Structure 1
Amino acid sequence: MARKPGASLVKARLVIMEPPADVGAKPGAKLATVAFQFNPRTLALSKSVEWRRQPSRMAGQASLPEFVGSGPRTLGVEVFLDATATHDNSVETGVEKLMVACVPTKKSIGSKKPASPWVRFEWGTAKSVSFDGVLSSLSVDYSLFDVDGRPLRATCSLSIEEAGVDTPRQNPTSGSHEARRAHRVVAGDSLPQLAWREYGDPGAWRAIAEANGIDDPLALVPGGELLLPGIDDADPETGGAPMTTSYRREVDR
């Protein structure tokens, strides 16, 4: 597609940032910006979705899949470096800039929480491929060398895995990640599914049932509101089930 008259060519870049100081926080200060020498010819964007399915004993039938959760976006991009097109003696300097995103930062090591930097691919107004993530893999193919062995051309393949997460909703009176929150029931919801998504343990569905006074875990009313209790609400005498017993079944019209 031809460029619009008067439009200037926008170069892609990789922003390298200090990793978050705490879980769920935003990335820290910018460490470096690696401008692409040439814009990529292709971008590979993927996203996974996890479903769980229990085997069915009924011949000719398959059990209904149960939604577990969405996986992170993954962006695959190639960075082409060519020292023959510049006054550089080698492409190794450019490769080393990318390698920085693969090792723990000095600040994270100093705080005794070693972590590699977070990165974000940026290219003009593109939104679907621009997200906070971590470099999950980096491979370099050198394809041209000087007479003394210095690499003059390289293709760097990067895989960026989305790392940003939504900030958990909290009780206004508490800053704890264990605070209660509400969930609006949708068709297909089940207590084991919600327990897996909220606590990482489908067997914790009894805590949600107890907190909401539910006798039949299969009888969830779409549009109703469930209270998803936090760990702090658990009653040790009832095996971890919270003591609150309120379940609002009103459906918004």
Structure 2
Amino acid sequence: MGTSATGFNASAATAAPSGAATLTHAKLELHEPSLDGALDKPGPVIGSIDFQFNPKELTLAKSAKWTRPTTRGSTKSSPPQYQGPQPSKLTLEMFLDESVFFDPSKKQDGYVVKTVEKLFSCCIPTDASHGQKKDSPPWVKFAWGGLTGFLAYIESVSVKYTLFTPAGLPVRAVATVTLQELAGEPPGTNPTSGGRVPHREHVVVQGDSLPGVAYAEYGDAALWRAVADVNGIDDPTRLRPGQRLLLPTADELQRTAAPTTRPRPRPQGAAPARREVVAGAVR
């Protein structure tokens, strides 16, 4: 059962012998975005959100996009045309209950509220990505023992508080979390697909320049020409705040940086270039 077909990888989720089963808690693994822009391999682990109680059900959705071109005057609908798959979505509920380990003689530490805040923080950029001007929320993967889900980001979090202390502290809640798939197939793995490797983006801020963006992204300011080429920029001095720049892939950087040895063709009928020899040097 592979992730490309069902959204889950259950290759390691084998049944334990009778009487030897142990309770394994589900969790959401949190990662930094990938370091090289690939959508099939996350960056370093930055934490996890453990389920206090394992989910009793998971909702996995997958859809395809179809279009029906319309023709003026036609009395029947045209045949549908397949446009491609939509990203998978996984919806699950997390039941949080601090009252189950409530001790009247001790002060509660706000476990429910802290867990909810951690879920909400998955909808905003990580500190590392924001510092590098590559804003991205954590990349998330659902894991439950040997069962692992697709690489995703948290699309939405909805929380309903259902129990409070006399002081007004929430001690019970149900959080509904929706994860959306980042990419269905690793880029470049299917040479016959004809698909392009997806680009990362950089949002221009005040004071940005193409050499500065190239240096921040690739450590080489001279690669600004590749950024300009991918974005069709003729005047590199005209960048406006809020503009989205596509960042070249490794292949595009190599093509732009590769020197050309082919001479430019001379227009038909043009005279050969004039050369002067001065002290053995050709001008």
Q: TM-score range by the shorter chain?
A: 0.5 to 0.7
1:114 is the counterpart of 2:131: no
- Report the counterpart of residue 124 of structure 2 in structure 1: 103
Are 1:49 and 2:68 matched, yes or no?
Answer: no
| 1:75-128 superposed Cα distances (whole Å, 9 cap, x missing partner) | 11010110111254321111122222111111101111111101111112335x
**Deviation of residue 55 (structure 1)?**
2.8
Structure 1 runs, 4 residues or longer, greater than 4 Å off = none
Unpaired runs of 5+ residues, structure 2, are: 1-16, 103-107, 198-251, 256-283
| Other-structure match for 1:39 | 54
- The 8 Å contact of residues 24 and 166 in structure 1, kept in 2 or not, is answered as no
Unaligned runs of 5+ in 1: 172-180, 184-193, 200-229, 233-253
Partner of 2:82: 67
Larger Rg, first or second structure (1 or 2)? 2
Give the secondary structure class of the aligned counterpart of 2:86. Answer: strand
- Structure 1 distance, partners of 2:147, 2:91, is 15
Residues 68, 144 of structure 1: alpha-carbon distance in 2 compared, 3 angstrom cutoff: same
| Identical-residue share of aligned pairs (%) | 35
> How much is the aligned-residue C-alpha RMSD, in angstroms?
2.8
Sort the Cα spacing of 1:4 and 1:58 in 2 relative to 1 into closer, same or farther, 3 A. Answer: farther
Q: Which letter does structure 2 place at the counterpart of 1:93?
A: K
Question: Retained in 1: the 8 A contact 2:25–2:53?
Answer: yes
Partner of 2:173: 154
Distance in 2 (CA, whole Å) between partners of 1:8 and 1:52 is 49
Counterparts of 1:203-218 in structure 2 under 5 Å? none
Instruction: Give the number of aligned pairs.
Output: 176
Question: Does the aligned pair in 1 maintain the 2:87–2:184 contact within 8 Å?
Answer: no
**CA offsets, 1:31-89, max 9 Å, x none?**
11111000111111101100111235554x43221110000110110101101112543
| 3-state SS of paired residue (1:152) | strand
Structure 1 residue aligned with 2:109: 89
CA contact (8 A) 1:18 1:30 kept: yes
Q: Distance in 2 between matches of 1:69 and 1:81?
A: 38
CA distance in 1, matches of 2:156, 2:82: 28
Report the 3-state secondary structure (helix = DSSP H, G, I; strand = E; otherwise coil) of the residue aligned with 2:24.
Answer: coil
Query: In structure 2, do the counterparts of structure 1 residues 47 and 170 end up closer, same or farther at CA, with 3 Å as the change threshold?
Result: closer
User: SS of the residue aligned with 2:121?
Assistant: helix
Query: Are 1:7 and 2:21 counterparts?
Result: yes
Instruction: Specify the alignment match of 1:19 in structure 2.
Output: 33
Q: What is residue 142 of structure 1 aligned with on the other side?
A: 161
Q: TM-score, normalised by structure 2?
A: 0.56
Find the residue that maps to 2:187 and give its secondary structure. coil
Contact 1:83 1:89 in 2 (8 A): no
Partner of 1:208: none
What's the CA shift string for 1:113-168, capped at 9, x where partnerless?
111101111112335xx111000000111111111110010111100000134333
Question: Which residue of the partner structure matches residue 123 of structure 1?
Answer: 144
- Identify which range, 146-155 or 3-12, moves more after superposition: 3-12
- The answer to whether the aligner puts 1:168 opposite 2:187 as a matched pair is yes
Aligned counterparts of 1:39 and 1:112: Cα–Cα separation in 2:
36
Check conservation: 2:160, 2:173, Cα contact below 8 A.
yes
The alpha-carbon deviation at position 198 of structure 1 amounts to 6.1
